[in-house]
Amino acid sequence: MTRHFLDIPELTADELRTVLALAERADLPQPLAGKGAALIFEKPSNRTRHSMEMAVVQLGGHPVYTRGEEVGLDVRETVEDVTRVMAGYHAVLAARVFQHSVVERMAAVSDVPVVNMLSDHSHPLQALADVLTMQQVHGDLAGHTVAYVGDYNNVSRSLAEACVLLGADVSLGCPVGYCADDAELERLNSLGAGTVRQVHRAVDAVAGAVAVHTDTWTSMGQEAEKAERVKVFEGYTVDPAMMALAVPGAGFYHCLPAYRGYEVAAEVIDGPQSHVIRQAHNRMHAARGLMAFLLGVR
């Protein structure tokens, strides 16, 4: 059966550990030798495009970057037609989309793996790199507290899911209206050995955390809400005073792109506790491990 990767919980905890182990393996076979991977982007990207393209090359394959407007998903032809056609050329189809339902529709008709490269709902490739980096810095995440401060969005959803699967305790500090609702908290808490709690004051979220994450307050597609969001998120900037409330030497993480002076102070993201460049580089290793896994490498 074709394995897709639209969301973290499609993996069991053991499978997630396998993907992370594959990400760190230097002797991977080349399951994409002589094959293609289509990378379709409806939104801009630096890390995701480059890390996926290079991961495809490292697995022996040839990436084909395609802008969403070029294929015209549901404009020039249906998502289903695009997918069925491309699945005949490529061994992997990956897409960055506005609506999560687009990657779901792709997976429904594709007989090759479909990978979500970010949607309005989730960013599972990012979460793989996030937990890979935290494991490298802090060791096994089980029993550790991982804090996320800011908007409960695609990045924090996938991060929380991956952390729970690995047995970490997630502490969300998100304002009312931009936070996980009770059903979402219940769902997250049912996924694995870890736990998720949520508070609405950012400073209450970081106590005891070995890792502090944040993300932009205004995601791609939400630009019109920026002024309102800047007001709502006042007090949610990860600054040196907030980092001082976490465990001494706690790591700072951000998926990037980052907006200094908004969700994070320059002293933090550019300071000694920041792991954001390693985290970005791990996007390539995580993508390689994930695609190898989907193609049957163990």
Contact positions vs ligand CP (CB under 6 A): 45-48, 118, 126, 255-256
Partner from ligand CP, ligand NVA, none binding residue 275, C-beta < 5-8 Å depending on class: none
- Half-sphere exposure in the Cβ direction for 36 (13 Å, CA): 12
Is residue 177 within 8 A of residue 150, CB to CB? The reply is: no
> Angle at which helices 124-138 and 276-294 pack, to 10 degrees?
120
Partner from ligand NVA, ligand CP, none binding residue 46, C-beta < 5-8 Å depending on class: ligand CP
Q: Residue 11 or residue 118: which is nearer to ligand CP going by CB?
A: 118
Closest CA to 123 of 57, 36, 59, 43: 43
Give the amino acid at 141. L
Show contacts with ligand NVA in window 168-227 (CB under 6 A): 215-216, 219-220
Residue nearest to ligand NVA according to CB distances in the complex: 219
Is residue 258 within 8 A of residue 267, CB to CB? The reply is: no
Min CB(285)–ligand CP separation in Å: 14
Min CB(117)–ligand CP separation in Å: 8
Min CB(295)–ligand NVA separation in Å: 25
Which tokens is 111 given?
A: 């007989």
How far is Cα 30 from Cα 7, in angstroms, rounded to an integer? 24
Spatial CB neighbours of 165, under 8 Å, sequence gap ≥ 6: 8, 9, 11, 12, 13, 16, 191, 192, 193, 194
Q: According to CB under 6 A, which one of 83, 145, 153, 214 is a site residue for ligand NVA? A: 153
Partner from ligand CP, ligand NVA, none binding residue 154, C-beta < 5-8 Å depending on class: ligand NVA
How many residues sit in the footprint of ligand NVA (CB under 6 A)?
Answer: 9
Partner from ligand NVA, ligand CP, none binding residue 216, C-beta < 5-8 Å depending on class: ligand NVA
Show contacts with ligand NVA in window 231-260 (CB under 6 A): 255
How far is Cα 74 from Cα 291, in angstroms, rounded to an integer? 27
- Counting every residue written for the chain, the total comes to 298
Q: According to CB under 6 A, which one of 51, 110, 122, 154 is a site residue for ligand NVA? A: 154
Min CB(79)–ligand CP separation in Å: 21
How far is Cα 150 from Cα 223, in angstroms, rounded to an integer? 16
Q: Residue 150 or residue 251: which is nearer to ligand NVA going by CB?
A: 150
Min CB(78)–ligand CP separation in Å: 26
How far is Cα 44 from Cα 235, in angstroms, rounded to an integer? 28
Residue nearest to ligand CP according to CB distances in the complex: 48
User: Does residue 110 bind ligand NVA (CB under 6 A)?
Assistant: no
Partner from ligand NVA, ligand CP, none binding residue 145, C-beta < 5-8 Å depending on class: none
Spatial CB neighbours of 201, under 8 Å, sequence gap ≥ 6: 173, 235
How far is Cα 162 from Cα 177, in angstroms, rounded to an integer? 23
Min CB(24)–ligand CP separation in Å: 20
Show contacts with ligand NVA in window 112-131 (CB under 6 A): 118
The contact set with ligand NVA (CB under 6 A) reads 118, 153-155, 215-216, 219-220, 255
